[in-house]
Amino acid sequence: MSDYILAKQNGRTIPLEDKIFGISSRAKAMIAEKGADKVINATIGSLLDDEGKLVVLSSVVDTMKTLNPVDFADYAPIGGTPQFREAVKKAAFGSFQPSCFTEAVATPGGTGAIRNTISNYSRMGDKILTSDWHWAPYNTIAGELGRCIDTYPMFDENGMFHVNAFGEKVRELIAEQKSLVIILNTPAHNPTGYSLTLEDWSGVLNVLRGEAGKAESIVLLVDAAYIDFAGDEEEYRRFLPELEKLPENILPIIAYSLSKTYTLYGTRCGAMICMAQTAEVAAEFRRVCEFSSRGSWSNSAKLAQVILSKIYADEKLLKKVNEERAEYREMLIQRGRAFEEEARKAGLEIVPFDAGFFASIPCDNPDEISRKLEKEGLFIVPLAKGLRVSVASVSEAACRKIPAMVKKAMAE
Ligand code: PLP
């Protein structure tokens, strides 16, 4: 029997249940039955404190409390309020001041930026390129738009970013399609926690420069959803100036999200910011992206746009928000280090990790291992190539326990 009654499949694979949601509900059921101390739920993609409560920056909440009704009840312009457009560029670029042509368009989270990039810079039926380890919704977004995801192996046999495999795939797809959208999720990649080094970046950009003459357009979407949780904000933005030194038909777009950085996940706010070599390409970017917004979610919610604008209009407040985030970031980094250290001690191989919300373990039978672990009270997410552990959602003590439990389940 078909999985569809009245709905049309349109080339998409639509599961009966969202996988992570299903695992998370089983974790909740076990907590209700056996108690929270018997369960480690490392599936959740938000930063939780050691007691399992959502981390919310109080400085951001205090700012929200100063708002007037029109700040959230009113529509924002389709592309975002003028103050937000300026503030979000500063948030994304940090102290770097680009000399290229930049335009920011508000989107509902980083997700909206990914959607609008694919819809405007690829054609129906195109392949969108990303690494084999990647955030699963890329497939959903591409599928919804009549495109699909193609991949290259993210790491070589020495655990280094596989720039040769990347280059091979870029060349293949440009020969096939003439234009290409590439998604690079860095720093603190989901699901591996890897951050491209400056050397990796130089390899990636050399590949693109080499292909520019053969391509109509190459769009490099930098999905920077975790940029403010990787480590020092300035250090992790050092790749940005490199993105300016590219030919005119290569367009870098930054997908910036307020979800994690300002703990405003539910307000659905983000932006897509282009770094164009010409004013014409930047103006076109704004025109086509605003058009797509109109035809999908219309305008983005105003609330978080006003919050960010207020934060960036007040130096003291900005400092306070950054300091508050830095404390939680330190907690997250400690958890990641604890996980890595225990994996080393347990002899558990993990995918090259730098920082962020997640770490991954390569595994040939992830579904089987995760089912076994659920019986032991450990809930993690099976992916195509391994297991994803959310270090963002469990305490450091739990991060120390997980590697040995996984190693044991894999050895049985
Ligand atoms: N990109 C990656 C890799 C993510 O993990 C997420 C959120 O989990 C996003 C983008 C976008 O999130 P949002 O739409 O909430 O900004």
Question: Degrees (nearest 5) of the Cα angle 17, 20, 24?
Answer: 105
Look at 21-35, 98-112, 338-352 and tell me which has the smallest mean pLDDT. Answer: 21-35
pTM of the model: 0.97
How many Cα atoms within 13 Å fall on the side-chain side of residue 254?
Answer: 30
Q: Is 102 in the pocket of ligand 1 (CB under 6 A)?
A: no
Which protein residue has the closest C-alpha to ligand 1 atom 5?
190
Question: Residue type for 380, please?
Answer: I
Residue with CA closest to ligand 1 atom 1: 225
Residue from 257, 340, 370, 265 nearest 46 by CA: 265
Per the CB < 8 A criterion, the answer to whether 146 and 124 are in contact is yes
Distance between CA 202 and CA 277 in Å, rounded?
18
In tens, the pLDDT along 183-237 reads: 999 999 999 999 999 999 999 999 999 999 999 999 999 999 999 999 999 999 9
**For the segment 8-41, what is each residue's pLDDT rounded down to a tens digit?**
999 888 988 888 888 989 999 999 999 999 999 9
Ligand 1 atom at minimal distance to the Cα of residue 223: 1
Q: Is 226 exposed, middle or buried (0-12, 13-18, 19+ CB in 10 A)?
A: buried
CA separation, residue 285 to residues 32, 103, 252, 267 (Å) = 50, 8, 11, 24
CA distance 93 to 237: 7
Selection from 239, 246, 155 nearest residue 208 by Cα: 246
**Stretch among 35-39, 86-90, 109-113, 399-403 having the lowest mean pLDDT:** 35-39
Q: Where are the beta strands (DSSP E) in 168-295?
A: 179-185, 217-223, 250-257, 270-276
User: What span, in angstroms and rounded, lies between the C-alpha atoms of 119 and 229?
Assistant: 28
Residue 187 Cβ inside 6 Å of ligand 1? The answer reads: no
Q: Is 264's C-beta closer than 6 angstroms to any atom of ligand 1?
A: no
Residue 1 has pLDDT above 80, yes or no: no
Q: What share of the chain is helix, strand, coil (3-state, %, to 5)?
A: 50, 15, 35
DSSP 3-state assignment of 378? strand
